Amino acid sequence: MTTADLIGKIIQVVGGLAIFAAIIGLLFFFLDKAPKRGKDYGQLAVFLAPAMILVFLGLIYPAIRTSLLAFTNNTGEFNGLDNFVWMFTQPAIVNTLINTVVWVLLVPTVSTIVGLAYAVFIDKSRGEKIYKVLVFMPMAISMVGAGIIWKFVYDYRQAGSEQIGLLNQIVVWLGGEPVQWLQTSPINTFLLIVVMIWIQTGFAMVVLSAAIKAVPVEQLEAAEIDGTNPWQRFRNVTLPGIRGSLVVVITTISIATLKVFDIVRTMTAGNFNTSVIANEMYTQAFRAAEPGRGSALALVLFVLVLPIVIYNIRVMRKQREIR
């Protein structure tokens, strides 16, 4: 990581803290029932000014600058939509976009289904807490750490050599030849996706398990009295009761998946047709010295995240109206 990257990270962290402080300050100010005077609003402005400045420097200004850079070349000259034309005409970048779509389709879906199934099956069972801890543990591991662990799982040694990769060792035990998993396309992309699913399933399981426990017991008992079987109770009572949590889990994992960088960078560095938008953005901006192309990719990433956020807000608003 360069000095500029480090400074950028620090500014983002400080900006995030500033936003949090500003929100808390505003909350306490408006919760105060005492009559407000012009002097009070002046004090509010003074206290919020440092936070607003940091927000502008750490979030608003970088966002505006990135948007402008997306329409420039590597010398900083305006080049219109050339960066976006390049993005959708280069086979390698098109493959990157397709990979990102595959990630977003598979990771949230599989993580949520597996996490929900696990939460349902271990609900109120003996050793429930231990089972939950085992599945949630990958969440405590950094993306880089998870990438290194799974890189050993997929490790390749030539035939006849001792295999240290678990997957290739199983293949050898079954009488097959070891495979260069991370260099074989397109299976390498799906093997990277497995790592993300392994991490995110614990998050889905914890949130959905809590939501399942919040479903009123009376509704389940009433459905049972009506003669429904377990699957019908799950489909008609439990699922509608945890719909809000399902939306939160799917949108959260989807956004995290769209921004995935560490796993790809650690395991393949985006080689062998495994790159995704976040990795390609880094490659173009810092490796290929093409900040305009990197910014264009960042803008596309923002556009992809935006509908997910809007959908989440709409669902939450509808739930509020129902309550």
DSSP for 69-135, please give it: HTTB-TTS-B-TTHHHHHHHH-HHHHHHHHHHHHHHHHHHHHHHHHHHHHHHHHTT-TTHHHHHHHH
Same domain, 132 and 41: no
Is 208:123 a contact under the CB 8 Å cutoff? Answer: no
Instruction: Kindly report the number of other CB atoms within 10 A of residue 49's CB atom.
Output: 11
CA distance 203 to 64: 33
Whether 80 maps to a domain, the answer reads no
Same domain, 113 and 44: no
Whether 84 maps to a domain, the answer reads no
> What pLDDT is attached to residue 4?
47
Q: How far is CA 251 from CA 68, 277, 288, 312, in A?
A: 28, 18, 32, 7
- Most confident range (mean pLDDT) of 35-44, 95-104, 236-245 is 95-104
Same domain, 127 and 158: yes
Q: Long-range contacts for 264-267 (Cβ within 8 Å, ≥24 apart)? A: 264/192, 265/147, 266/143, 266/144, 266/147, 266/148, 266/151, 267/147, 267/150, 267/151, 267/154, 267/182, 267/192, 267/195
Number of structural domains in the chain: 2
Same domain, 10 and 105: no
Output the domain CATH number for residue 125. Answer: 1.10.3720.10
Same domain, 55 and 143: no
The enclosing H or E element of 224 equals helix 217-225
- Quick: pLDDT tens for 282-322: 898 888 888 899 999 988 888 888 888 788 777 777 766 66
Whether 79 maps to a domain, the answer reads no
Which residues are within 8 A (CB) of 133 and not within 5 positions of it... i.e. 6 or more apart? none
- Quick: pLDDT tens for 41-74: 667 677 777 777 777 877 788 888 888 888 988 8
Over range 156-164, report the average pLDDT.
86
Whether 233 maps to a domain, the answer reads yes
> What pLDDT is attached to residue 8?
54
Same domain, 100 and 11: no
- Count Cα neighbours of 80 within 13 Å in the Cβ-side half-sphere: 3
* pTM score of the predicted model: 0.80
Domain limits for position 8: 1-69
Same domain, 98 and 44: no
Instruction: Kindly report the number of other CB atoms within 10 A of residue 86's CB atom.
Output: 16
Q: What SS3 class is residue 250?
A: helix
Is 73:82 a contact under the CB 8 Å cutoff? Answer: yes
Give me the percent of the chain exceeding a pLDDT of 70.
85
Same domain, 23 and 111: no
Whether 74 maps to a domain, the answer reads no
Q: Which two tokens stand for residue 40?
A: 């009070």
Length of the chain: 323
Whether 282 maps to a domain, the answer reads yes
Same domain, 137 and 54: no
Same domain, 199 and 261: yes
Angle among Cα 12, 15, 16 to the nearest 5 degrees reads 90
Same domain, 217 and 121: yes
Q: What SS3 class is residue 50?
A: helix
Whether 103 maps to a domain, the answer reads yes
Same domain, 116 and 36: no
**β-pair partners for 72:** 78
Whether 82 maps to a domain, the answer reads no
